[in-house]
């Protein structure tokens, strides 16, 4: 800073000297023109060194001023450059920020572009799928168009057929009308025939009723209620009051003609361990083992007096017989109670007497007088 002030003072002094020298130089030049020789002789030696010094100083000052001006210009340029650098830096910062923003935008754009690309790929895939669907639909459309053409042909054919059918319907309608009138006539005749048929049916019913009555009377007359009319040993029908017609096995060999076989055990193939309902109805075969049935025995013995004849053949061949003069059993409500009458004393062994006045017993209906069930013990129903 001090150097700059000294330079400034020195510059002022030099300028004053320069002005004086300039003025003196002008005057000297004028004097030189007038009296060059005199000045050169008297003053040159004294003034010239000083003038040379001033010229040198002036030149140095001019050089210095030029340098100062250049320095100022350089400083000014430097300041401008600095300011330019600051502006450039600020611009660079802004542009860097913009660049970052642009980079972000570019990244976002790349992401958006990738999304767009993915969407485009998806769209292309969907487009391809839709294109395939379109191709298929085109094929279906072509097929349906062909079908439609065929349908149109069929429609025309059907229309033609329909027209023919309409004509036929008209003819048929006329025929139907004629047939309807004829049908009414036939229905009238049919109604009259129905009336006659109903009358005849009633007459036939009366005739059938009379025939049934006659048949029953004839059957009652022809079919007996016992085996007395039959002279052989075979199966014959009986007509018993309260139970109707049923077959029985008649025997005319063991004790004379006219016997009804109520039980037979000859084959050993039939189980007699049966329940109450089966004994009531009867079971077995007349050609082998059987029991005629409690209800049939009750109905038969209720009509008239019957004898009971028992014929037993032992395993060793021994034969045992028993005979009672008034055999019968009561109804089901009384348990089919047994009644025998008198025993034929000419035959040894009144073994059946122990069951008289006893009810019939089966494994499912215990009517015996013992503590247990004799039907279960002996595996057979009886008057235990």
Q: Which domains does the chain have, with CATH numbers?
A: 2-100 (no CATH), 230-378 (3.90.215.10)
Contact 333, 367 (CB under 8 A): no
Radius of gyration of the chain (CA): 80
Question: For residue 274, what are the contacts with CB-CB under 8 A and spacing of at least 6?
Answer: 283, 291, 362, 381
Of residues 351, 353, 350, 331, the one with CA closest to residue 340: 353
How many other β-carbons are positioned within 10 Å of the β-carbon of residue 39? Answer: 17
Q: Give the 3-state secondary structure of residue 382.
A: strand
| pLDDT at residue 361 in the model | 98
Q: Say if residue 257 is exposed, middle or buried (CB neighbours under 10 Å; 0-12, 13-18, 19+).
A: middle
Q: Contact at 8 Å (CB) between 368 and 358? A: yes
First vs last C-alpha separation in the chain: 166
Asked whether the whole model's pTM tops 0.85, one would answer: no
Among 365, 364, 381, which residue's Cα sits nearest to residue 294?
Answer: 381
Rounded-to-integer distance, Cα 243 and Cα 245, Å: 7
Spatial distance between the Cα atoms of 202 and 208, rounded to a whole number of angstroms: 10
**Cα(176)–Cα(230) distance, rounded to whole angstroms?**
70
Kindly state the greatest CA–CA separation across the chain: 233
**What residue ranges of the chain have pLDDT lower than 70?**
1-44, 211-222, 345-348
pLDDT score of 211: 67
| Among the listed residues 291, 260, 289, 261, the one whose alpha carbon sits nearest the alpha carbon of residue 276 | 291
Residue of 256, 203, 207 lying closest to 228 (CA atoms): 256
- Check if the beta carbon of residue 283 is closer than 8 Å to that of residue 270: yes
* Positive/negative CA dihedral, 260, 266, 270, 276: positive
- Structure confidence at residue 338 (pLDDT): 98
Q: Which of 297, 300, 301, 302 is nearest to 279 (CA)?
A: 297
Query: Of 232, 348, 372, 242, which Cα lies nearest the Cα of 295?
Result: 242
Rounded to whole angstroms, the Cα distance separating 244 from 223 reads: 11
């Amino acid at each position: 800073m001090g150097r700059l002030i000294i330079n400034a003072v020195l510059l002022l002094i030099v300028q004053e000297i320069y002005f004086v020298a300039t003025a003196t130089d002008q005057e000297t030049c004028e004097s030189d023109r007038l009296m060059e020789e005199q000045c050169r002789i008297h003053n040159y030696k004294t003034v010239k060194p000083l003038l040379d010094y001033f010229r040198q100083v002036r030149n140095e000052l001019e050089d210095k001023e030029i340098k100062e001006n250049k320095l100022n210009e350089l400083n000014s340029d430097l300041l401008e450059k600095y300011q330019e650098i600051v502006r450039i830096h600020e611009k660079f910062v802004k542009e860097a920020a913009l660049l970052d923003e642009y980079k972000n935008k570019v990244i976002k754009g790349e992401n958006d572009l990738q999304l767009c690309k993915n969407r485009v790929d998806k769209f292309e895939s969907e487009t391809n799928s839709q294109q395939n669907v379109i191709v298929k639909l085109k094929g279906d459309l072509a097929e349906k168009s062909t079908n439609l053409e065929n349908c149109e042909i069929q429609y025309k054919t059907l229309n033609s057929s329909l027209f023919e059918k309409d004509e036929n319907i008209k003819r048929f309608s006329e025929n139907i009308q004629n047939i309807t009138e004829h049908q009414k006539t036939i229905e009238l005749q049919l109604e009259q025939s129905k009336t006659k048929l109903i009358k005849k049916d009633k007459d036939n019913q009366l005739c059938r009723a009379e025939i049934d009555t006659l048949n029953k009377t004839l059957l009652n007359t022809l079919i007996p209620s016992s085996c007395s009319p039959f002279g052989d040993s075979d199966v014959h029908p009986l007509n018993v009051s309260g139970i109707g017609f049923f077959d029985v096995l008649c025997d005319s060999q063991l004790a004379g003609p006219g016997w009804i076989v109520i039980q037979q055990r000859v084959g050993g193939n039939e189980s007699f361990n049966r329940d109450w309902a089966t004994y009531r109805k009867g079971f077995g075969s007349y050609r082998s083992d059987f029991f005629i049935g409690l209800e049939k025995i009750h109905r038969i013995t209720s009509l008239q007096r019957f004898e009971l004849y028992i014929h037993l053949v032992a395993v060793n061949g021994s034969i045992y017989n028993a005979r009672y003069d008034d055999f019968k059993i009561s109804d089901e409500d009384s348990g089919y109670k047994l009644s025998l009458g008198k025993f034929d004393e000419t035959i040894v062994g009144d073994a059946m007497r122990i069951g008289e006045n006893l009810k019939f017993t089966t494994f499912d209906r215990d009517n015996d007088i013992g503590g247990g069930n004799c039907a279960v013990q002996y595996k057979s129903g009886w008057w235990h």
